[in-house]
Amino acid sequence: MFKKSLVAVMAASAIALTACGGGGQAASSTGGADKKIVMGFAQVGAESGWRSANTKSVQESAKEAGIDLKFSDAQQKQENQIKAIRSYIQQKVDVIAFSPVVESGWDTVLKEAKDAKIPVILTDRAVDSADKSLYKTFLGSDFVLEGKKAGEWLVGESKAATDTVNIVEIQGTTGSAPANDRKEGFEAAIKADPKLKIIASQSGDFTRSGGKQVMEAFLKNNPDIDVVFAHNDDEGLGAIEAIEAAGKVPGKDIKIITIDAVKDGMTALSAGKINYIVECSPLLGTQLMDLAKKVLAGETVPERVVTEETTFTQEQATKALPTRQY
Ligand code: AHR
């Protein structure tokens, strides 16, 4: 009788240990009879085609990896993302992953996660926290390089030009890592040619409607626009609508450079309405789940995992489109 209850107590303690989340120690990365890893993912929103593809990638990869995903959409608002992270801490998830809407203002909530012993993985966008111990790793693109590639293409294209080349820039969400970094990279690259001048720059919030509105205002105030540099495809697609409505031909009267390479953007590039796209891959799900498993298994992971990306001309877009995943 005594033996039987001892076995029962031992079994109960083992279950309690496996079931305790929070520290990330108890969750198994191997699946099987052990408890599933629980990941809390705080997404930016649904502002662009890129974002929808990223959400799909994260959700599908979690399923494939056997990870229980708690998902929230912050509708591009930092306070919503902070609330979601706090709720994941309260729920004692095993790991938190998020793509920060903006770069600044994360130290307090990240410290709360650290104090609760819940590891955090940054995905897609970075934070500017000086204390790197607040997160385990950052998986995503090199946004400065993306801006640089866009600028370098324009420098090459403008070699033959004799006059000033007037550029308007439609920035991404103000204060976000991709907006800050793409601007920085683009400006650094176009410095190589003093003919290239940014005559206006404004945020379109990474949305199609934002890109359209900003472009309408640019067209009203600037009769001689030669080039649009849009921080993502959606803004570029919105700009196309505004340019056409103004009776001009996108891709010809006004050249357009964008970043992302989602299907809609690639279709416009293939049709000659966009002139060049720098790729930013949203397919981060598989790598994110692998990193989460490694972190929870106590393995060392690199501080930074950079996504591999390419660029597309009209011809390359036409070739790539039939097999484009997103
Ligand atoms: O953070 C990645 C950027 O965010 C993508 O370029 C853009 O489309 C998205 O909204």
Mutation test of ligand 1: which of 47, 234, 235, 260 has the most ligand atoms closer than 8 Å to its C-beta?
260
Whether 122 and 135 have beta carbons less than 8 Å apart is answered as: yes
The domain spans of the chain are 35-141+282-308, 143-280
- The finding on whether 121 has its CB within 6 A of some atom of ligand 1 is no
181 lines ligand 1 (CB under 6 A): no
Q: Is the CB of residue 280 below 6 angstroms from any atom belonging to ligand 1?
A: yes
Q: CB–CB of 119/301 below 8 Å?
A: no
| CATH hierarchy code of domain 143-280 | 3.40.50.2300
Contact 178 CB / ligand 1 (< 6 Å): yes
CB of 149 within 6 A of ligand 1: the answer is no
140 lines ligand 1 (CB under 6 A): no
**Ligand 1 centre and the CA of 176: distance in Å?**
9
Could you tell me the distance, in angstroms and rounded to a whole number, from the CA of residue 68 to the centre of ligand 1? 25
Is the CB of 48 within 6 Å of ligand 1? Answer: yes
In the chain, which ranges are continuous DSSP H helix?
2-19, 49-65, 78-90, 107-115, 143-157, 177-190, 208-221, 233-245, 263-270, 285-296, 314-320
C-alpha of residue 75 to centroid of ligand 1, in Å = 13
**CATH class belonging to 35-141+282-308:** alpha beta
Beta 255-260 vs 304-306: how paired, if at all?
unpaired
DSSP classification of residue 316: H
Q: Are strands 276-279 and 311-312 parallel, antiparallel or unpaired?
A: antiparallel
31-85 residue pLDDT tens: 455 789 999 999 999 999 999 999 999 999 999 999 999 999 999 999 999 999 9
133 Cα to the center of ligand 1, angstroms: 25
Position 3 scores a pLDDT of 37
Q: Which atom of ligand 1 is nearest to the CA of 45?
A: 10
What is the distance between the alpha carbons of residues 182 and 279, in angstroms, rounded to a whole number? 12
Q: Is the pTM of this model over 0.75?
A: yes
In this predicted structure, what is the pLDDT of residue 33? Answer: 54
Gap from CA of 72 to ligand 1 centroid (Å): 17
Q: What are the two backbone dihedrals, phi and then psi, of residue 160, each rounded to the nearest 5 degrees?
A: -80, -15
Sorted by sequence, the CB contacts under 8 Å of residue 34 that are 6+ apart come out as 18, 27, 28
- What's residue 34's pLDDT? 72
Concatenated DSSP letters for 21-75? -SSSSSS-SS-TTSPPPEEEEEE--S-SHHHHHHHHHHHHHHHHHT-EEEEEE-T
Task: State in Å: Cα 193 to ligand 1 middle.
Answer: 28
Cβ atoms of residues 47 and 206 within 8 Å:
yes
Regions in the chain scoring below 50 on pLDDT: 1-31
Q: 């009203």: which residue's tokens?
A: 220
Closest CA to 291 of 142, 136, 140, 143: 136
One fold for 35-141+282-308 and 143-280: yes
Task: Give SS3 for 99.
Answer: coil
φ/ψ of 55, rounded to 5, equals -60, -45
